[in-house]
Structure formats: structure tokens, C-alpha cells
Structure 1
Amino acid sequence: MARLLLLCVLFSMLLHSQAAAPARPRYLDGFLANGNFEQGPRPSNLKKTVIIGKYSLPKWEISGMVEYVSGGPQPDGFYFAIPRGAHAARLGNEATISQTINLKPGRVYSLTFAATRTCAQDEVLRVSASNKSSDLPIQTLYSSDGDTYAFAFVATSSRTKVTFQNPGVQEDPACGPLLDAIAIKEMPPLRYTKGKTPLQHITNTCIIIV
């Protein structure tokens, strides 16, 4: 009887400890919707590789000359190495793609994406979110998987539009960066560590907010 009572007490303590344990916060971490561009437009919304229609690329809004390309040799003699999967988006001069996502105001988020140059000319990718933007020179040409970039920002509202744009610095309007593997990560709130100054703590997190 005493052994049974002891088991009941231990079981009760176990249930209480599990119930009392604070729930671990869940942070946003993963691809944006169709962030790897494996969901393509309908064949009727493609003119060769050029996407026709503002909402023809699933989960994205586009403007200008946006191409839906596959990896491998291209008809013009180029070779496209797709960073992730089999497909990617190519932005011509002044073309944009954007997506509106749900975020938590005041939180820090990091966008990561793969990009590669497709022509032997200067190419730039402009990234914008929450009234912040940055122009990133795309250096890699014919890379096996493209370069990986990161863009950090503080969300100013619960609905935030993330935009990628080719500002148009190329002589050939069809040239532009190849974009793929777009993901977002919510950065956990900074916590003070005893024995460190706030500056040391922020430096150790390696977070850059633009």
C-alpha cells in the first residue's frame, strides 16, 4: 500500500512539473510561401520564360519583366545554376517581386536568400521591408549554388511587405539577378547576461539591424 501511495505521489509531482513548465515560445523560421519558387505559373501565364500577369507567380506579386527559369543550359548560351531545387526567379531591369507576411511589431527578423548574377555586367538587388531597404551588389557569376545574403529589420506593423527589386543598372534590360531560397527567421529577444555590458551582449549576438 505504501509503495502504491509513493507511486501516486511521484506521478502527481511529474504531472505538476510538466504543467508548471513554461511553454517555449515559437519563433517564425523557414521559407516564405513558395520561397523556393518550385510552384510555377500556369503554362498559359508564361511567354517562354517571362511571367504574364501580376499574380501569376503563386504566392507572389510581380511587376516588370520577371522570368521563371529552370536550371541548366539556356537558349542564349548561358548556364543557370539554381541555388535550391530546380527553379528560380530572374528579375529584369526595374522588375520586382513582393509578398506580404504576418509579423510581430517590434521584433527583429532576418531575411536570407540566395542570389547569383546571370550576365557579365554589374547587377544589383534591392531588398525592402518595414520602410528599410538596402542595395546589394551581386558578385557571383556561374556559381554552383549562388551567394547567400541576409537582410535584418525591425517589423513596424503586423502586415509587412517584403520586396525584391532589380533597380536597373544593366545595359541589357533582360539581364538581372537570379533569386531563390527566400527564408525568414524571427530573432529571439536579446537577454542581458550577468557580467557583460549591454554593448558586449549585443556584439556577441552578431545581429545587424538596418
Structure 2
Amino acid sequence: MTPPHPLVVGISGASGIAYGVRMLEVLRRLGIPSHLVMTRTAEITLAYEMDRKVSEVRALADTWHRVDDLTAAPSSGSFRTRGMVVAPCSARTLGAIAAGAGENLLTRAADVTLKERRRLVLMVRETPLHLGHIRSMAAVTEMGAVVAPPMPAFYTRPRTLDDVVDHGVGRVLDLFDIDAGLVARWRSEDDETH
């Protein structure tokens, strides 16, 4: 049996690094291989937002690549993947992807994902938005990416930050047709009476 194609996980320097870390944990639990590309700014953000070391985050992935290694597997379209998620995706990374600027491995891998017509999901973390951000989101959408800012679903009545992160990660994995069991699915009153 052929092993499943990996999901490439990019982690940029935006606030919300917990989304990328949780994504790696869930993929490992599900037995789905992952290839990690983490920017240097993400490594700095990690120190501010979580009590984890960079080496611990790298250990969650099946394979990790240096952000400056443009010879790594995800930089080539011949490397088969199930797609890529950037969690979180900074405005800078969004802009580089929109411009087709593969200046580092994260943006090159995203560009390859688009050119190969694979699923690219960007968990954009920026607010408020100016027109340049909105135009970049429109541009990547026109190229085939899915812009999926991590928005909490309050109908699930989250009790902890982990609940909010899990829902966001679960919704993104849904876009790859992966049910991680993290999403409290919407049920209407009609569903409950039938």
C-alpha cells in the first residue's frame, strides 16, 4: 500500500502560532505525514506565545526543512503532496504568495502548490485589514488558494483557548477532506427533532 502524500505545513511569524503547532500534533495523531517549513520570525513568535522550543515543534513533523533551503522537496512540483496549509499566515507571507515571490522555502512551496493545482489554505492572521491585504487575499483566491482566517465559532460555546484553536484546525483540515474529530458540527433544531 502506498503511504499517504504528506501535507506541507508552513508556519509564518504572525501571532497565532498555536494553530500551526496544533496542526502538526493532529496530523501526527491521524498518521498523516507532514513536512514543516517555519520562518525565522515564527521561531521568535513561538518564544513569545508558547512554552515550547523550536526543536520540539520540529519534532512534531515527520520532516522539517530550513526556510532558506530552496532545494528541499516541497520546492519542486514533482514532490507529491496533498497540499499545503500556512498556519498562521502573516500579511507579509500573504503578500509574497500573492506576488508569486518564492523568496524562501515557505513562499516557494506555496507557489508550487498553486502551480500544481493542489489545495493551499492560508490561515491569515491580521486585523484590521487595509486595501493591500484585501487585494492580496483576492489575488491568492483567484490563483486557487483558500483564505481561511481562524474565526472562532461561538455556537460551539468554547471554554478554553484550546477549544478555539482545535475548531480552527479542524475546519482547515475539513478543506483537505480530513475529519480530525475536532469540529462540533452545526445542528439545527430540526435536526434534533427528526
Report the TM-score, using the length of structure 2 for normalisation: 0.23
Larger Rg: 1
Higher helix share: 2
Report the TM-score, using the length of structure 1 for normalisation: 0.21
Higher strand share: 1
